[in-house]
Homo-oligomer: A and B are copies of this chain.
Amino acid sequence: MMRVDVLDSLKRLNNLSSSYSLPRVSFYAEDCCGRQGSSFFFVSWHILMASLGDIGVSAAINILSAFAFLLAFAILRIQPINDRVYFPKWYLKGLRSSPLQAGLFVSKFVNLDFRSYIRFLSWMPAALQMPELELIDHAGLDSAVYLRIYLLGLKIFVPIAFLAFSVMVPVNWTNSTLERSNLTYSQIDKLSISNIPTGSNRFWTHLVMAYAFTFWTCYILKREYQIVATMRLHFLASEGRRPDQFTVLVRNVPPDPDESVSELVEHFFLVNHPDHYLTHQVVYNAKKLSSLVSKKKKRQNWLDYYELKYSRNQSTRPTKKTGFLGLWGNRVDAIDFYTDEIKRLTEEIELEKHKVMKNSKYTMPAAFVSFRTRWGAAVCAQTQQSRNPTVWLTEWAPEPRDVYWDNMAIPYVSLTIRKLIIAVAFFFLTFFFMIPIAFVQSLANIEGIEKAAPFLKSFIEIKFIKSIIQGFLPGIALKIFLIFLPTILMIMSKFEGFISTSALERRAATRYYIFQFINVFLGSIITGTAFQQLDKFIHQSANEIPKTIGVSIPMKATFFITYIMVDGWAGCAGEILRLKPLIFYHLKNFFLVKTEKDREEAMDPGTFGFNTGEPQIQLYFLLGLVYAVVTPFLLPYIIVFFGFAYVVYRHQIINVYNQEYESAAAFWPDVHGRIIFALVISQLLLMGLLSTKEAANSTPLLITLPVLTISFHLYCKGRYEPAFVKHPLQEAMMKDTLERAREPNFNLKEFLQSAYVHPVFKGEDDSESDVMSEKWEEQEPVLVQTKRQSRKNTPLPSKHSGSLSS
């Protein structure tokens, strides 16, 4: 969200600069093909095609803005007052409790040590210093492996760029096709495949290079898959005891007239896993309860705010109006009002809690079933339980903090229908999203505003303001849509019924990538909306499609170079500045923060955002692989992006982000699959391009490439994917045996008792505290002990576990 936001304003900025200050150069592509950049929708994406000079100007602007961001970051980060914005991770880990300097009062807010301003890029080497093992320990495997994606980019593209510049660029350069033609061309095009005459034997170079690049990419991919798989297995093996290692999620427990869900689950597993079943935890429908809890929390916030206000100024007690947003209604004493409200809500919560526990219709037909051994859990998670494959569905339980509680109770038939609905909805979203936006755009024009608000007319009519509005307005609906797109995709995934946040994010990432591929990549190459493309493709023959795209590719190189600089370079620099969290933190700090704990909550470290971040990286992989053979000049820009982003994100992961879950790099098969997809696309487009260049005798050789690539993918899938999906019994047995030898008297049942209780049931004694963060710590066995004791009076554990003597 945050990144998209910053990026977007950057893009807007850049657009303005390119349309107002840069000379508009009509690119030869438009002339020679007679095509017009027809879609006004994509004006905002399409920074004008530029010559080498324009790229220089654009690069200068982007480098300068990136530099400005970095400078701002360098200054802001060493101010003690911002310490919690730029180093929240350390605070959350409890390794840092206050800004490092001590001394003067002023120096609590502003850094007066001028030496530190000189070393303003010192964070970069610092970010690179932490070794990977320590990084895994510090931020989790997900983060460490996420960083490897950037490294993978470097590993793939640095040798490719080296080879391309030493072999292909000379081959391309020493032609004079473009010079002899009467087309407008830039120096970049002289470096590209466009400069090779039709039917030339020199295309063999490109063919050989395509093979070399493919083999290199596959080699690196295989190596990386192996490393990541080993890392994952090692990580899982070296982890301490965790509830999810012993627990399986059972869904679609069939209804039974005689037994409650809890009894049914217990009986079923006692019968079918007699030697292994230990205990279970039924899932409750606590939607209303959690909304009450969060309501109470909000009220508590306001109460804190007013109490703080009162404590600062004791002369007048603060008041508020009871109506909507505090705008009207009776004026009452704010502190009393909120105290009453909180009291009322607390009672309501207690009532609701009681209801949820007692009333069987609040019990969902799902349960977390825990086993005596990891072996037992691994067996149960991987096997089918019942004759009817739609009931007693078992799967490995996600980490407790990774569970997405709302989706626990979706029945099987509904899942199929939901998938169908979302598939259709996503299709329409991808191909027809422009229709409502165009409709809004048609409303939101200057005339419309003047009509709706005549008093603004004279203001609007000022030429400068008018041109700005005219520049911004058409794009504004699109931009708002693009800002909300990741959220929309997350909602879609939630609707589809995934039960863990990590799975939700992975699915949203896949969708975001498809959207970007169609609307950014293809949309920029074949100008036109996605729907127009679809229409074009349906009416074109199968071998024409790669040709159409392939021919346009060399012409769009300059556009994509600019795109990389805006979205990649400046975007990264924007990411590190954390403008939004910075502002929000200071606002919250000023208005709400009362205790140290409040301040901690105000930090909002965020996560690295797999669902938006990874598809962005993948777009660069796609661009790099597609242009590697066609226009190698693009590669250095991508390499700079990967290098810069690696440093930036490494810094952020070390100092800022606080990952919400740990999936142990479960996303790697997706990452691998998308790079393979990009590779196949690049091969098909090269085939299309070469066939128009009358190097058609190369076709059989080029067809072989995707076939080989896909079977390489299948091989990798079979070889490494199980490490990310399945749970080897050997490992489980090893850990079980080891642990039994080490701690023969460990009380596993106590350890697992409350691990999978819905978060709202956990925060009962201290509902003001951060329910989430507390839940994590509880994974330490010691903490669980205390937890359990504080719970002994509640009906929950005694009801559901008393019957079992373990």
Contact = CB atoms under 8 A, between A and B. Distances in A.
Contacts of A539: 541-544
Given A389-B719, A390-B718, A384 B382 contact: yes
A375 B413 CA distance: 28
A378 B379 CA distance: 10
A730 interface: yes
A72 interface: no
A729 to B, nearest CB: 5
Interface stretch (A297-305, A632-640, A707-715): A707-715
B384 A719 contact: no
A722 B382 CA distance: 13
Interface string A543-557: 110000000000000
Contacts of A542: 537-542
A540 B538 contact: no
Given A275-B275, A379-B379, A424-B707, A730 B386 contact: yes
Nearest to A717: B416
A384 B424 contact: no
Q: Which of A392, A424, A730 has the most CB of B within 10 A?
A: A730
Interface string A434-456: 00000000000000000000000
A722 B714 CA distance: 23
Contacts of A715: 413, 416
Given A272-B730, A273-B729, 19 more contacts: A268-B730, A271-B733, A272-B729, A272-B733, A382-B384, A383-B383, A383-B726, A383-B729, A384-B722, A389-B728, A390-B719, A413-B715, A416-B715, A419-B711, A420-B707, A420-B711, A423-B711, A538-B542, A539-B544
Interface in A389-414: 389-390, 392, 412-413
29 contacts: A233-B387, A271-B730, A271-B733, A272-B729, A273-B729, A275-B275, A379-B383, A382-B383, A382-B384, A383-B383, A385-B728, A386-B728, A387-B730, A387-B731, A389-B718, A389-B719, A389-B720, A389-B721, A390-B718, A390-B719, A413-B715, A416-B714, A420-B711, A423-B711, A424-B707, A538-B541, A538-B542, A539-B544, A542-B542
Interface in A348-376: 375
A385 B730 contact: yes
A791 interface: no
Identify the 3 closest CB pairs spanning chains A and B, nearest first: A389-B722, A384-B726, A420-B711
A342 interface: no
Nearest to A394: B729
A384 to B, nearest CB: 4
Contacts of A61: none
A723 interface: yes
Contacts of A424: 707
Q: Which of A539, A542, A544 has the most CB of B within 10 A?
A: A542
Given A416-B714, A420-B711, A718-B416, A728 B390 contact: no
As for how many copies of this chain the complex holds, the number is 2
Interface string A143-158: 0000000000000000
A385 B711 contact: no
A723 B538 contact: no
A728 B390 CA distance: 12
Contacts of A723: 387, 389
Interface in A168-221: none
Interface in A657-678: none
A727 interface: yes
A233 B386 CA distance: 11
Interface in A418-439: 419-420, 423-424
A721 B389 CA distance: 8
A716 to B, nearest CB: 9
A720 B715 CA distance: 29
A378 B383 contact: yes
A726 B720 CA distance: 23
A727 B382 contact: no
Nearest to A375: B272
Interface in A680-738: 707, 711, 714-715, 718-723, 726-731, 733
A235 to B, nearest CB: 13
Contacts of A384: 382, 722, 726-729
Contacts of A718: 389-390, 412, 416
A389 B722 CA distance: 6
Interface string A588-614: 000000000000000000000000000
Contacts of A233: 387
A379 B383 CA distance: 7
A390 B392 CA distance: 29
Contacts of A389: 718-723, 726, 728
A233 B384 CA distance: 14
A268 B730 CA distance: 9
Contact of A412 (B544, B719, B730, B731): B719
Contacts of A543: 538-539
A788 to B, nearest CB: 30
